[in-house]
Amino acid sequence: MRQLTIGEIALAKTLYGYSIHYHLVWVHRESYLPFNLQPVDIAMSPNGEMWFREETYSPDFSLEDDLVKKHRFMHEMMHVWQTQKGMFVRTRGLFSGIADYTYSLDKVDLLHYGLEQQASIVSDYWGDAANLLI
């Protein structure tokens, strides 16, 4: 378990600015779920901390050449933001197996989307702004 690196904080600030208390964020290199039940390709951030399996973990996501890993990091940072803003990510995450990550931009307010859709919209926006093809 570690805190965010200086590079990861700088990366996250490109999207979230100062709206996250970065010093409170911990990054784990293990399954959040017991018995390694967390799928390998799924990161989880149910409590303001980020949980990556060994296969998707990075010691510093800001230095990653793997754009999928960077995108996943920015997606999970949205769940950190949601938790820090008082949204019940853990409770709502219980249903994430049936949560819809897809979206169409037809709603007026970001908060009118589900938690996973919000995270997808924001991380996709970051990817588009950074000219990343993921």
DSSP H stretches of helix in the chain = 6-16, 67-84, 89-93, 115-129
Element at 3 (helix H, strand E) = strand 2-3
By annotation, the residues acting in catalysis are 76
125 CB-near residues (< 8 Å, 6+ apart): 15
